[in-house]
Structure 1
């Protein structure tokens, strides 16, 4: 029996040594991933970016739920999903996805425009399905996401004209999906944030549908060569958007320089922003589009538009789409949903004075949760990388 105890003792020591070694390796790896030339990243942000930039996970969130789906963390009754085609300019039809609550309504309507640099292959309604679905669940709204046509096959103004036509379609057909045209908002991320505010401008200029509110997540607001600090610092592409992609978007979507100053491509430089709906603009610290989003919020305020601007520290471009794995993404989704609910209930309390709120990375128990999950994900990534090496 003594020899068995000795073997067990040695096995226990070897196991403890192995676990301790792995913890050290994981800790060192996460520390190194957190260290960047642009600043030190929170652990969760560092791990997610490492996984994406090293092709260990896919950026695409290619979720195809059944026709009746759950709300993605929003609670409440299941949502109804509908994929259909709607007519736009030029006798063309474009795909559109709709999530709506069950019941008689009428329900508020949110037009959501996905990001993707106005380019084919950079984003679509499938890659943004999780946020579209979550907004429907968390706001009790009908969320309509049109798949507007993009460059290089279609240059400006096709994308924004398609997007505006989608608003007109929604208003004309609201009775068919229990929508309330008196509670109509626009929202979008990145290029989609640009489209959201541009469609609000088009509706104002064309005496179109009244837009109740707008939510712009890290929006592109100018195609001009403006010397923004964030464009210079975070342009490498490591933070999910590069200067190269931005130039590519400009070259293909707005191939003529005269297009760069058009208010429907560069709303930051529009002569008149008055009369636009109250806005929530969310930016990310590690994002080349950060400064132009905040500059647009300031311009809206100067024009008398009620605006709420929030910068989230420690996160990168597109972070709200990662709400399922990043606590800051959940915060951003919560702020977006709360703003839209308040707009629908006519309880928004914001002024037209510009005031940038800076939201710190998760603290307390949320920070512990993010840290723990970051190390667990890191362990998985290291194990996966090791297995891939052994299989080569």
Structure 2
């Protein structure tokens, strides 16, 4: 058995070299993914973007939980879910999803308007179900998410009229689902951020319900051709939104150039932004919509609207949707939930002097966690790519 000791020694050596080589490959890969022409990305952002842009993960989230579900990842209070249809203009009915806490309430109401470039196939209540459900859990509120009609079949103003009709329906039927009409907020992301603030404007202009607060996640705020640096720098689509998609949205949703200057399509250029609710605007560093979201925050402040704006460093458009895998996404969701809870409790405090807050990428233990997870995901992606290559051969 003299051969056993040197044999196992060689096996151990070869295994160690193999592991070392794999770690080097992973480290070099992540380093390369982090390096972009627009700046160096945090490891987790780089890995997630690499996976998405190389079609290594499926983004078609189609979650269909049972009627009673938990609030979000990691548990939370049980929620009641209901998929229903509501009437809108033109003798039409549209789908709407509701999550609500169990109990008699009355509970605050959140109208959530999903993103998706105003276009068919780019977003839905299914692709945003994780945010809708989690907000209901984290704020102990009823969240209503209408599936408004989109282009190219339905052009402006169908989407916003549907969205306002959904708000009107919520007010009229609040008692049936234990909602509190004195505490209604609007929330939306990307195109949905546009719809959320426009819905608040319509409520003001049409003597509709008083909106308690609005939260706009990386909102599109103008269809006009205005000089915006972020639109020029991050227009490739690598950061999950391209100039091509933005132009397609404008051409199909607002085909008449006169529509671009309507305050209900381009709230950034609205003549009157007064009397809108306290506002939280969240933007992402690597996002073509970053500058117009922050410009809209400044304009709201100029009209005396209490507004808080936070730019998240090191992340891309839509990052809050990835809160289950990105720490910065969890931060964004936590900030959104906290703002809504404080608004509902009447404890919201916003500085009179507007100033954008910049949130750095995760630090300390959160940074270690993100990086560790990033390398683990990278190892999986590299292994999967290798397996796919072998299968192709």
Q: TM-score when scaled to structure 2?
A: 0.99
Distance in 1 separating the partners of 2:351 and 2:302: 11
Please, which moves more after superposition, 378-387 or 72-81?
72-81
Q: Is 1:262–2:240 an aligned residue pair?
A: no
Equivalences, count:
392
Partner of 2:285: 285
Q: Is 1:347–2:347 an aligned residue pair?
A: yes
**How far off is 1:60 after superposition?**
2.4
Partner of 1:359: 359
**How far off is 1:107 after superposition?**
0.3
**SS where residue 125 of structure 1 aligns?**
coil
What are the residue-to-residue correspondences of 1:1-392 with 2, within 5 Å?
1-73=1-73, 75-392=75-392
Distance in 2 separating the partners of 1:333 and 1:230: 23
Q: TM-score when scaled to structure 1?
A: 0.99
**How far off is 1:75 after superposition?**
4.9
Distance in 1 separating the partners of 2:284 and 2:198: 21
- Partner deviation per Cα, 1:216-260 (whole Å, 9 max, x = no partner): 000000000111000000000000000000000000000000000
Contact 1:109–1:183 under 8 Å retained in 2 = yes
Distance in 1 separating the partners of 2:348 and 2:132: 22
**How far off is 1:77 after superposition?**
2.2
- Partner deviation per Cα, 1:297-354 (whole Å, 9 max, x = no partner): 0000000000000000000000000000000000000000000000000000003432
**How far off is 1:8 after superposition?**
1.0
- Aligned-residue CA RMSD in angstroms? 0.8
Please, which moves more after superposition, 235-244 or 64-73?
64-73
- Partner deviation per Cα, 1:146-189 (whole Å, 9 max, x = no partner): 00000000000000000000000000000111100000000000
**How far off is 1:64 after superposition?**
1.2
Q: Residue 261 and residue 140 in structure 1: after superposition, are their counterparts in 2 closer, same or farther (change >3 A)? A: same
- Partner deviation per Cα, 1:252-288 (whole Å, 9 max, x = no partner): 0000000001000000000000000000000000000
**SS where residue 90 of structure 2 aligns?**
helix
**How far off is 1:82 after superposition?**
0.4
Contact 1:194–1:219 under 8 Å retained in 2 = yes
Distance in 2 separating the partners of 1:353 and 1:94: 41
Ranges in structure 1 where 5+ consecutive residues have no aligned partner: none
Runs of 4+ in 1 over 4 A off after TM superposition: none
